[in-house]
Structure 1
């Protein structure tokens, strides 16, 4: 049975003493105190975890992570990694924003032109989605519209009775609602949307949208991203299915890491915003990765020499 938590609260100077006692090099105490006060011990602990010593206790099982730090473990590198990850999240969110807005516009224009209330018409949607989730999803989007303080919603409701047509309603949705709607489209509509963005298969587009939403939520909650193992993973492409993604089909290590979403984002941006500098900015940012022997850029899932791949150029 788990034991009750009885450890006392620890002041920042005591946290520094504890970390030093475990072998973490702290040369600038003022900077360490400022970081621990501003960011917090447990948030930073996710960034110094790779610097801790490990021990293989039992063959075939994951090594046990010790409280002590390895040689050359530096608090300065912990802070630098935190800043690197923060800026990485901002870059990923920038790409997600462009893809999300483009998907909203495609749905509003393409599907709304056929029927302003197509999102409410069970006959126009995937039967599995209708039978399982459609009613609950409609309740969520209607609740989002009722909570909205956007002028365009208020102005619409001054003149017209609800519900909102697709092109108004969709601007109240979060990415989760949008990705769920894409998964609930009819087979022809999913196929048409995938083709519009050059995605080889409709199932792949659906999985990309779901995985992008997962990463968006990680970023929105300011959680660690750089070495995150993704719970919601996009479907990997098939070999020789799309030349720009062939390397992803072959590089199995990337399928549950950030690269599994970063590559689809870049692929979609080539259609959504062909003139975007996002790829160049991401390359520049990766040059700022901290130079600690304990930290591996490969934990992002980005393959060696990814910058030279056709997808990124």
Structure 2
């Protein structure tokens, strides 16, 4: 029996010098060829393409707008890179706080193995997946606390207690554990209130949003000019400082409202944070970056939230 493959996609690999010639032929100004060669040798053509895409006036022919420069595209790339570093630092503080609150409140309301108690959760299948991921993380870890626990308690087939186990798990798993808790669990509302979310209705969507952005940061994915799929639920009257204008559904696809949410939570966790100063300094450093691509509002620094 013969096998036939018709209409196969064909594309040949191009050298760095060929890539540069292609870009020049399409109208991209490359004044320093050595600089461009160095960048393309360390950052793939395909990855950089996400940043010069908006500089093209014809997306099918890939031709560039007049005065489009390779150096300006690299500024966009470096801005995005430094933005991810900044957000990763902010999210780390939120993640550690969430982990601490989950361990503390649930362990006191129930016991240190609450995260294995299926009676506390809405979706058993989702919990099985979360616990399976946790098991893999615990098997991979080289943390002395986990190894020591397993050696001392070989006959105990449970996970190590929450203050050991959940220190090894991801923000995404923590977010799913919280969201999957039954709404009757007192700690679910207590944790939401401590994050300024009033009750359990809103916090799961906040954590989902932040977890998604954390994954983009961890995998070096573009944040600049990215449409973010979101199911954010925001309070109409938050108990702490917030932005003056009520965002509409279209705003949720831009990064700005998600930055506001991180700032809101960070202000509670670390009231003396310098997130505003660092974000503003980033825009000043890369003055050619259009803030509108992130959905930034004019004079955002003057909002009570960001002061």
TM-score by length of 2: 0.90
- 1:33 aligned to 2:37? yes
The aligned residue for residue 14 of structure 2 is 10
The aligned residue for residue 104 of structure 1 is 99
Inter-partner Cα distance in structure 2 for 1:176 and 1:3:
41
Q: Is the 8 A contact 2:91 2:210 kept in 1?
A: yes
SS at match of 1:46: helix
- 1:166 aligned to 2:162? yes
In structure 2, relative to structure 1, the CA distance for the partners of 1:179 and 1:100 (3 Å cut) is same
SS at match of 2:63: strand
Q: Which one is further off, 29-38 or 247-256? A: 247-256
The aligned residue for residue 223 of structure 2 is 225
In structure 2, relative to structure 1, the CA distance for the partners of 1:2 and 1:199 (3 Å cut) is farther
Inter-partner Cα distance in structure 1 for 2:33 and 2:256:
36
CA RMSD, Structure 1 to Structure 2 (Å): 2.0
The aligned residue for residue 27 of structure 2 is 23
Aligned-pair CA distance for 1:20: 0.5
- 1:183 aligned to 2:179? yes
In structure 2, runs of 5+ residues without a counterpart are: none
The aligned residue for residue 149 of structure 1 is 142
Q: Is the 8 A contact 1:253 1:301 kept in 2?
A: no
Inter-partner Cα distance in structure 2 for 1:99 and 1:211:
12
Alignment of 1:1-313 (within 5 A): 3-54=7-58, 65-114=60-109, 115-123=111-119, 125-127=120-122, 129-130=123-124, 132-160=125-153, 161=156, 162-187=158-183, 188-231=186-229, 233-242=230-239, 244-247=241-244, 249-291=246-288, 296-313=290-307
Q: Is the 8 A contact 1:239 1:246 kept in 2?
A: no
Q: Is the 8 A contact 1:112 1:118 kept in 2?
A: yes
Cα deviation, 1:35-68, whole Å, max 9, x if unaligned, reads 11111101100000000004xxxxxxxxx55410
SS at match of 1:112: helix
Q: Is the 8 A contact 1:126 1:185 kept in 2?
A: yes
Inter-partner Cα distance in structure 2 for 1:240 and 1:166:
34
Runs of at least 4 residues off by over 4 Å: none
Count of residue pairs the alignment pairs up = 297
Inter-partner Cα distance in structure 2 for 1:298 and 1:200:
31
SS at match of 2:253: coil
SS at match of 1:245: coil
Inter-partner Cα distance in structure 2 for 1:246 and 1:302:
12
Aligned-pair CA distance for 1:248: 5.8
Inter-partner Cα distance in structure 1 for 2:171 and 2:71:
36
In structure 2, relative to structure 1, the CA distance for the partners of 1:260 and 1:77 (3 Å cut) is same
SS at match of 2:211: helix
Cα deviation, 1:194-245, whole Å, max 9, x if unaligned, reads 10111134232100111111111111111111111112x1524243445633
Inter-partner Cα distance in structure 2 for 1:26 and 1:117:
60
Inter-partner Cα distance in structure 2 for 1:274 and 1:242:
15
Inter-partner Cα distance in structure 2 for 1:134 and 1:263:
30
SS at match of 1:225: coil
In structure 2, relative to structure 1, the CA distance for the partners of 1:166 and 1:2 (3 Å cut) is farther
SS at match of 2:181: coil
